[in-house]
């Protein structure tokens, strides 16, 4: 299966792959924690395609209550991802106050997507807080493009630094090599696919730009201590 077909399958997964709301909630929280914006928004759309729980006799109040509950669990998710509780709760307080100002359901429900964008943005911003501008730019690029092929040459051009100097600076600031950091990011996304998607292991390897599934499995086992198949059995 070629890359474009796999990505199209990922986009359509919400239509093809039905799960209980708790599964979808867990999937969404995982994607927020990983800073996967497009995936999180897609999952939110699937959740919102289901009937919301009735939390009040007033329909607008019911949606507000539901969104306040969502805001609360999103806040916990980004704290687990490393965002400081102070920053997470400050953002949560702003959102809850904003939720209370809406007077129609359409604008209120649209705001839920803005909340997810802001929460994911804070997760990704938190990853770069203690780094120089160049290294922050590299980390953001890796986070946003982990399913594509990323080379040190590409990153050097992005930062207008030599490949050798960038590699040395990255290791000094982050504590691991660029290639190791990229692998860690890819494996984190692979875990999410294994837990929450029906994609075959060969397709996951391909969409993450591994040369073949055997190499992907070797890297995955080295990082996690188990094969992709074992990880899926243990986490689904």
**Digit-coded pLDDT (tens) for 84-119:** 999 999 999 999 999 999 999 999 999 999 999 999
On the 0-12 / 13-18 / 19+ scale of CB atoms within 10 A, 62 is middle
Q: What is the predicted pLDDT for the residue at 19?
A: 47
Maximum C-alpha span of the chain: 63
Domain with CATH 1.10.10.60 in the chain: 133-235
pLDDT given for residue 7 in this prediction: 58
Output the pLDDT for position 17: 45
Identify the pLDDT of residue 90: 96
Q: What is the mean pLDDT of each run of 10 residues along the chain (236 residues)?
A: 58 48 86 89 90 86 94 94 94 97 93 96 88 93 86 94 96 95 92 88 90 92 94 88
Q: Which fold has domain 133-235?
A: Arc Repressor Mutant, subunit A (1.10.10)
pLDDT at site 103: 94
Q: Which of 72, 70, 78 is nearest to 123 (CA)?
A: 78
- For the chain, how are helix, strand and coil distributed in percent, rounded to 5? 75, 0, 25
DSSP-based three-state secondary structure for 205: helix
């Amino acid at each position: 299966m070629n890359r474009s077909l796999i990505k199209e399958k990922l986009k359509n997964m919400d239509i093809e792959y039905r799960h209980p709301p708790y599964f979808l909630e867990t999937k969404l929280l995982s994607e927020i924690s990983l800073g996967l914006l497009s995936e999180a928004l897609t999952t939110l759309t699937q959740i919102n395609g289901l009937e919301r729980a009735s939390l009040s006799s007033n329909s607008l109040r019911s949606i507000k209550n539901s969104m306040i509950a969502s805001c609360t669990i999103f806040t916990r998710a980004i704290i687990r991802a490393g965002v400081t509780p102070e920053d997470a709760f400050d953002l949560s307080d702003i959102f809850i106050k904003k939720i209370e100002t809406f007077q129609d359901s359409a604008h209120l429900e649209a705001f839920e997507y803005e909340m997810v964008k802001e929460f994911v943005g804070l997760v990704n911003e938190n990853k770069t807080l203690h780094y120089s501008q160049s290294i922050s730019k590299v980390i953001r690029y890796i986070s946003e493009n982990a399913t594509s092929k990323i080379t040190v040459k590409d990153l050097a051009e992005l930062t207008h630094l030599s490949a050798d100097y960038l590699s040395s600076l990255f290791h000094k600031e982050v504590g691991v090599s660029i290639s190791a950091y990229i692998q860690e990011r890819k494996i984190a996304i692979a875990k999410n696919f294994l837990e929450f998607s029906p994609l075959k292991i060969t397709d996951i390897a391909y969409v993450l730009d591994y040369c073949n599934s055997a190499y992907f499995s070797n890297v995955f086992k080295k990082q996690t201590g188990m094969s992709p198949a074992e990880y899926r059995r243990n986490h689904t």
